Amino acid sequence: MPAYLCPPTVIHGKHTVKTSEIVADVRGRHPDAPWAPRMDGIAASTGIETRGWMVPLETAVAPGDGSVLSAAGVGPAREALAGEGFRDEDVERVITALESVPSPQTVQERTAPAWAAVRSYGEHAARGALQAAGLDASDVDCLITSHSTTPALPGLDVALANRLPLRSDVLLLPATQWACVAGTRSLALAAELVAADPDRVVLVVIAEALSTTYQPADDTLESLIVRLLFADTAVAAVVTGRPRSESALRLDASWHHTLPGTQDLHRLDTKADGTHFVMDRRGPRAVQETVTAMWEWLRTRYQDDPGAWHPDVLLAHPGGTRVLEYMEQTMPAAWPSGLLDFSRDSYATGNRGGAAVFDIMRRAYDAGQAPGSRAVLYAAAPGLTATALEGQWL
């Protein structure tokens, strides 16, 4: 450090999905769920009325191409029905009925359109970030990528290396499991890279199709919340070791923190019908511990000036508004109000996962920040693990 960050490019999912549409879909599928009478209140409590997805809602909820009774299962099904005393004509009637019932989407059916969108949106964001930095693809020395819900090998890094295209000697650093911490951690890694070589140009691209975790058959309260929260977004930004006229934010320090024994609180489970995001209700309290640890890092960093120093903006993605409220309650009383306004604005249109901090940063940049004002960037992710950075607007 220091490292210099050019304005990020943010590409929102082009398909607008209303909360009312999600509620209607869930209510139609799970009318007898214990939480069904509270669904409207739960949806309203998120504060999200619309979110952008890379694919339409109809694609996310569509049945698969197969049937609940596979070809391999026809024989055993006939034998079982015959063993129960069904007549031949009744057996055929049941078999025909089962073959007409569509199966859920498979992993392939759910992931394929999302992966295509991730590559397209990621390329669009990358080109926008290079233009914002006044650079060409040939200027890039290192590419850092992240996409957590569309597993692929080769991944987004190789796809972008071919699409942009990048030089053959560019260092590719894919990070498919950073998830929500991808925004801050990628910047921390980029800062380390340019500290080693100030002439290095690092391009960061994060493309998240979180709508792939929309699982119509899931009937838990947690699955309802997952369906209501997530948005799809691609973001990108350029980090350099020397200031440029296009530079927007100087990054001065980074901090990392991982809580042991919390790896099961938030996770992706891959099943036959795709990825399922699993949340434990203990998660927000655990995330709060990383916030407390970050406050201590900042206090120690500025212990020689404890009364006067404070950030002018806090660009935070702790996973939800509940932890944002905790941050407001626990930050030093002398700090000004409204530090998390841009974070709240971003959440109003969905949780963007690893792309969230870049979206929040773009909102702050577009609103105008006084040169010399201080910024703190923070994000927490499944693990639980967190990364924060502290810097100054240029």
* Residue pair 132/192 in contact by the 8 Å Cβ criterion: no
Average pLDDT over residues 226-246: 97
Give pLDDT, residue 306. 63
Give pLDDT, residue 178. 94
Cite the DSSP H helix spans in 86-215.
Answer: 88-99, 107-133, 156-163, 182-196
Q: Which residues pair with 142 in a beta bridge?
A: 171, 202
Asked if the model's pLDDT at residue 266 lies above 70, the reply is yes
Give pLDDT, residue 64. 73
**What b-and-e string marks burial along 38-64, b requiring 16 or more CB atoms within 10 Å of the CB?**
ebeeebeebebeebbbbbbbebbbbeb
- Relative orientation angle of helices 107-133 and 156-163, to the nearest 10 degrees: 50
User: Domain 249-393 belongs to what architecture?
Assistant: 3-Layer(aba) Sandwich (3.40)
Gyration radius of the chain's alpha carbons: 23
Give pLDDT, residue 209. 95
Average pLDDT over residues 52-72: 79
Average pLDDT over residues 78-101: 69
Average pLDDT over residues 40-68: 88
Torsion angle of C-alpha atoms 234, 21, 113, 232, degrees rounded to 10:
10
Query: What is the number of other CB atoms lying within 10 angstroms of the CB of residue 101?
Result: 11
Give pLDDT, residue 151. 85
Average pLDDT over residues 343-358: 96
Residues in Cβ contact with 235 at an 8 Å cutoff, skipping those fewer than 6 apart: 8, 9, 10, 11, 125, 183, 205, 206, 207, 355, 358, 359, 362
Tell me the one-letter amino acid at 145: T
Asked if the model's pLDDT at residue 67 lies above 70, the reply is no
Give pLDDT, residue 286. 83
**What's the distance, CA 259 to chain centroid?**
20
Tell me the one-letter amino acid at 27: R
Q: 19: pLDDT confidence band, cut at 50, 70 and 90?
A: very high
Task: Please tell me the distance from the alpha carbon of residue 190 to that of residue 202, in angstroms, as a whole number.
Answer: 6
- Give the global pTM: 0.90
**Domain 3-62+104-240 adopts which CATH fold?**
Peroxisomal Thiolase; Chain A, domain 1 (3.40.47)
| Mean pLDDT score of the chain | 91
DSSP 138: G
Residues in Cβ contact with 6 at an 8 Å cutoff, skipping those fewer than 6 apart: 129, 132, 133, 237, 238, 239, 240, 244, 246, 247, 248
Span 359-379, pLDDT tens digits = 999 999 999 999 999 999 999
* Residue pair 192/174 in contact by the 8 Å Cβ criterion: no
Lowest pLDDT segment from 47-61, 76-90, 177-191, 246-260: 76-90
Same fold, 3-62+104-240 and 249-393: yes
The full set of domain ranges for the chain reads 3-62+104-240, 249-393
